[in-house]
């Protein structure tokens, strides 16, 4: 009789657990389905509005007061110029900081304080970095509303994300690889350069490309810096005035003419294509290095 009672309790507990499992599974499925439906509806609306406006003229024309003549050339080229500054500055500083904190710095209260502040900076609103860039780069260093000032500002924005991602990637490298390198007589830097960095490149690239994708799609810091929304010429150097795709899209959406909404949708499609291309490059490089190491 005692065994029968135990079996009944086991069956009751199992039925309750299975029920909770099925309920939670259904809720998670609904959450995923809701996100996918919203994404599909958003893409459908953008693509239906952009059809008929996406052509070579749209890519080669400058902004115009007439929707049929408006193009995204200035914003597209300006975004590429911005990445010329943001990518090397943020990658060099971010990866270098991560290497120092993980491989050279001693674990004490000071490094814990630095680590905590880096993690907190990753969650600071982007407009705060815009105010910082306006104060330091635009006014104090007298760089004006140039590509260099905007690039340095956006580098500060994505720097904490790259540092955290690079730290996690370096931390994931097994210590056995380091010990084997030291056992062969390699120095600290040789071990980092030839063992740690190649093994951590996939994780570093993933976090870095996602951070750069955020930089190319940000608008708030550039609005604070005073980057123009309408520009009918291309920059020739890093000290020239410029505009970017998000700023142009923001300008088009604020226009009262209905056709400018379609032009903005076409600009969003171009921006999405650029982001997908950047992420594809990251995936390709990551998979290449994963096979090698």
Helices within the chain (DSSP H only):
2-50, 56-60, 73-99, 109-121, 126-133, 147-171, 175-183, 188-191, 197-217, 220-225, 245-253, 259-292
Of 140, 158, 131, 154, the C-alpha closest to 226 is: 131
β-strand partners of 241: 146
Please indicate whether residue 214 or residue 27 has the higher confidence score (pLDDT).
27
pLDDT tens digits for range 243-253: 999 988 988 88
| Burial of residue 155, with CB atoms counted within 10 A of its CB: 0-12 exposed, 13-18 middle, 19 or more buried | buried
Instruction: Please answer whether residues 102 and 95 qualify as being in contact, where contact means their C-beta atoms are separated by less than 8 angstroms.
Output: no
Q: What is the pTM of this model?
A: 0.82
Residue 2 confidence (pLDDT)? 46
Rounded Cα–Cα distance for residues 241 and 41 (Å)? 36
Q: How many residues does the chain have?
A: 293
pLDDT tens digits for range 18-61: 888 889 999 999 999 999 999 999 989 988 888 888 888 888 88
**pLDDT class for 259, splitting at 50, 70, 90?**
confident
pLDDT tens digits for range 109-122: 888 888 888 888 88
Q: Which CATH architecture has domain 58-289?
A: Orthogonal Bundle (1.10)
pLDDT tens digits for range 147-194: 999 999 999 999 999 999 999 999 988 888 888 888 888 888 889 988
């Amino acid at each position: 009789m005692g065994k029968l009672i135990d079996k009944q309790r086991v069956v009751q507990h199992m039925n309750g657990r299975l029920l909770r499992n099925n309920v939670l599974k259904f809720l998670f499925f609904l959450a995923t389905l809701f996100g996918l439906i919203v994404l599909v509806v958003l893409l459908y609306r953008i693509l239906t509005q952009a059809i008929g406006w996406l052509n070579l003229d749209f890519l080669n024309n400058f902004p115009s007061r007439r929707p049929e003549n408006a193009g995204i050339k200035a914003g597209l080229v300006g975004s590429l110029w911005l990445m010329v500054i943001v990518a090397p500055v943020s990658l060099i500083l971010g990866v270098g900081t991560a290497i120092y904190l993980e491989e050279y710095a001693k674990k004490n209260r000071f490094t814990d304080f630095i680590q905590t502040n880096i993690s907190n900076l990753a969650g600071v609103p982007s407009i705060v970095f815009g105010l910082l860039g306006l104060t330091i780069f635009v006014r104090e260093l007298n760089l004006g509303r140039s590509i260099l000032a905007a690039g340095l500002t956006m580098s500060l924005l994505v720097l904490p994300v790259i540092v955290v991602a690079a730290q996690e990637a370096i931390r994931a490298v097994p210590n056995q690889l380091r010990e084997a390198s030291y056992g062969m007589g390699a120095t600290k830097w040789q071990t980092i350069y030839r063992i740690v960095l190649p093994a951590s490149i996939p994780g570093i690239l993933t976090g870095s490309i996602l951070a750069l994708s955020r930089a190319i799609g940000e608008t708030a810091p550039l609005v604070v810096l005073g980057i123009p929304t309408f520009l009918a010429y291309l920059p020739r150097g890093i000290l020239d005035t410029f505009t970017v795709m998000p700023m142009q899209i923001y300008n088009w959406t604020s226009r009262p003419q209905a056709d400018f909404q379609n032009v903005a949708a076409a600009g969003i499609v171009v921006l999405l294509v650029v982001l997908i291309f950047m992420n594809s490059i990251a995936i390709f490089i990551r998979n290449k290095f994963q096979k090698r190491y």
